[in-house]
Amino acid sequence: MSGKLFDLSGEVAAVIGGTGALGGAMAQALGEAGAKVAIIGRSAERGGERVQQIQAAGGTAIFQSADAMSRDSLTAARDAIASQLGTVTVLVNAAGGNKPDATLPPGSDFCKLSNAAWNEVFDLNLVGGVLLPSQVFGESMVAAGKGSIINIASMSGMIPLSRVVAYSAAKAAVINLTMFLAREWATKGVRVNALSPGFFPAEQNRKLLFNDDGSYSARGQQIIGHTPMARFGTAEELGGATVWLAAPKASSFVTGQNIVVDGGFSSVTI
């Protein structure tokens, strides 16, 4: 019974940001569970590498170039994927990130944070990260009466972490928009949920968490000390929650939720 619950055969998954470490691992898990996967991003090289990895594991995958900040580009990608794999039934919105100009160094003045830097981070994580892809792919899901949208939020969207104020606020907005869309499409056959990863070392945050010699930075040590499992997560550890939320049988009554994968970080209050 459990195998059938998590079988994604017949599903077509589009993973925006599938060229990154976390999005790529989620795409890999979907492909190995039986979904046909479209890796959407701007790097054909990294997208092609992930496609090869999914195919090597026995899955079906293609790379589709698209700009998540362009409705026309996303619409063209949606139609191209439909012609090659079929109508998308699972959308993973894994594009996003922070910008140096929107990060407050220790001792800096919040009042000096520029509107341009703030807006850039919000556009990256909320507009291109969730809003536009959900509108474009969600339209076809609603028309088909079937679909699962998985947005990538963040631990910082739940707990306003120091220094990354714009990123934290944008991810909090992602969680709110997830809940709105879940309510909006609950009777349309489309489920909308979010995943909030804890601390997963990747290209963007590695220098923040580690020193050049590979040891933990002061911030990395602080995070590890606050995490009951006493380690960072690995990208592959997002796979199980991703497949569960994508599987129409396993999570058929789950919508509007923010699933936390953080090694217990959010359970520690002191």
**Looking at the domain assignment, is residue 224 inside a domain?**
no
Active site residues: 167
Please tell me the distance from the alpha carbon of residue 167 to that of residue 97, in angstroms, as a whole number.
7
Please tell me the distance from the alpha carbon of residue 53 to that of residue 49, in angstroms, as a whole number.
6
Domain that residue 32 falls in: 2-198+233-262
**Looking at the domain assignment, is residue 38 inside a domain?**
yes
Q: What are phi and psi of 13, to 5 degrees?
A: -110, 130
Helix, strand or coil for residue 90?
strand
**Looking at the domain assignment, is residue 159 inside a domain?**
yes
Task: Give Cα 32 to chain centroid, integer Å.
Answer: 18
pTM above 0.75, yes or no: yes
Provide the CATH number for the domain around residue 171.
3.40.50.720
The number of domains in the chain is: 1
**Looking at the domain assignment, is residue 204 inside a domain?**
no
Please tell me the distance from the alpha carbon of residue 229 to that of residue 240, in angstroms, as a whole number.
18
**Looking at the domain assignment, is residue 112 inside a domain?**
yes
**Looking at the domain assignment, is residue 51 inside a domain?**
yes
**Looking at the domain assignment, is residue 188 inside a domain?**
yes
Contacts 24+ apart (CB under 8 A), 115-124: 117/166, 118/166, 121/166, 121/167, 121/170, 122/166, 122/169, 122/170, 122/173, 123/69, 124/69, 124/95, 124/96, 124/97, 124/99, 124/170
Contacts 24+ apart (CB under 8 A), 154-157: 154/196, 154/197, 155/196, 155/197, 155/198, 155/199, 155/260, 155/262, 155/265, 155/266, 157/196
Q: pLDDT in tens for each of the 270 residues of the chain?
A: 456 899 999 999 999 999 999 999 999 999 999 999 999 999 999 999 999 999 999 999 999 999 999 999 999 999 999 999 999 999 999 999 888 888 888 888 899 889 999 999 999 999 999 999 999 999 999 999 999 999 999 988 998 877 889 999 999 999 999 999 999 999 999 999 999 999 888 777 777 788 888 888 888 888 898 899 999 999 999 999 999 999 999 999 999 999 999 999 989 865
**Looking at the domain assignment, is residue 214 inside a domain?**
no
